[in-house]
Structure 1
Amino acid sequence: MGICTVVTDANISSGPESNTTGITVFSMPGWQLALWAVAYLTLVLVAVTGNATVIWIILAHQRMRTVTNYFIVNLALADLCMAAFNAVFNFIYASHNIWYFGRAFCYFQNLFPVTVMFVSIYSMTAIAADRYMAIVHPFQPRLSAPGTKAVIASIWLVALALAFPQCFYSTIVMDEGATKCIVDWPENNGSKMLLWYHLAVIVLIYFLPLVVMFFAYSVIGFTLWRCAVPGYHAHGANTHYLLAKKKFVKTMVLVVVTFAICWLPYHLYFILGHFQEDIYCHKFIQQVYLALLWLAMSSAMYNPIIYCCLNRRFRSGFRIAFRCCPWVTPTEEDKVELTHTPSLSRRVNRCHTKETLFMNGDVAPSEATSGQPGGPQVGVPIES
Structure 2
Amino acid sequence: MRGFHNDLPDDLPEDFWIPVTLPSKNFTSYSPFLVPQDHLGGSGMFYAMAGFMLFVFVVGTGINMLTIACTAKYKKLRSHLNYILLNLAVANLLVSCVGSFTAFCSFASRYFIFGALACKIEGFMATLGGMVSLWSLAVIAFERWLVICKPLGNFIFKPDHAMACCVFTWVFALLASVPPLVGWSRYIPEGLQCSCGPDWYTTNNKYNNESYVMFLFCFCFAVPLTTIIFCYSQLLFTLKMAAKAQAESASTQKAEREVTRMVVVMVMGFLVCWMPYASFALWVVNNRGQPFDLRLATIPSCFSKASAVYNPIIYILLNKQFRSCILMMLGMGGGEEESTTSQSVTEVTKVGPA
* TM-score normalized by the length of structure 1: 0.68
Structure 2 residue ranges without an equivalent (≥5)? 6-13, 19-26, 31-36
Paired residues of 1:132 and 1:217 also in contact (CA < 8 A): yes
CA distance in 2, matches of 1:18, 1:268: 24
The one-letter amino acid of 2:136's match is S
Paired residues of 2:38 and 2:110 also in contact (CA < 8 A): no
Q: 2:328 aligned to 316, 320, 325, which one?
A: 320
Q: For residue 155 of structure 1, report the CA deviation from its aligned partner.
A: 1.6
Q: 1:114 to 1:49 in 2, by over 3 A?
A: same
Paired residues of 1:47 and 1:80 also in contact (CA < 8 A): yes
Structure 1 residue ranges without an equivalent (≥5)? 6-16, 324-329, 345-365, 370-377
Residue deviations 1:191-223 (CA, integer Å, cap 9, x gap): 6x2101111112222121111111111111011
**Aligned match of 1:259:** 270
Other structure's SS at 1:227 match: helix
Paired residues of 2:46 and 2:107 also in contact (CA < 8 A): no
Corresponding position: 1:190 with 2:206? yes
* TM-score normalized by the length of structure 2: 0.73
> How many residue pairs get matched?
319
CA distance in 2, matches of 1:107, 1:54: 29
Other structure's SS at 1:190 match: coil
Q: Using CA pairs below 8 Å that are at least 6 residues apart, which structure has the higher relative contact order?
A: 1
Q: 1:184 to 1:37 in 2, by over 3 A?
A: closer
Q: For residue 286 of structure 1, report the CA deviation from its aligned partner.
A: 3.6
Q: 2:284 aligned to 273, 281, 285, which one?
A: 273
CA distance in 1, matches of 2:39, 2:198: 22
CA distance in 2, matches of 1:122, 1:379: 23
Matches within 5 A, 1:283-322: 285-307=293-315, 310-322=318-330
Corresponding position: 1:367 with 2:345? yes
Q: 1:339 to 1:51 in 2, by over 3 A?
A: farther
**Aligned match of 1:119:** 132
Q: Percent identity?
A: 23
**Aligned match of 1:222:** 237
Q: 1:106 to 1:304 in 2, by over 3 A?
A: closer
**Aligned match of 2:159:** 145
C-alpha root-mean-square deviation of aligned residues, in Å?
4.2
Q: For residue 97 of structure 1, report the CA deviation from its aligned partner.
A: 6.9
Q: 1:246 to 1:122 in 2, by over 3 A?
A: farther
**Aligned match of 1:8:** none
Moved more, 27-36 or 179-188: 179-188
CA distance in 2, matches of 1:182, 1:250: 33
Q: For residue 338 of structure 1, report the CA deviation from its aligned partner.
A: 4.8
CA distance in 2, matches of 1:184, 1:265: 16
Q: 2:80 aligned to 50, 54, 67, which one?
A: 67
**Aligned match of 2:180:** 166
Q: 1:269 to 1:322 in 2, by over 3 A?
A: same
CA distance in 2, matches of 1:127, 1:182: 26
Q: 1:41 aligned to 44, 54, 59, which one?
A: 54
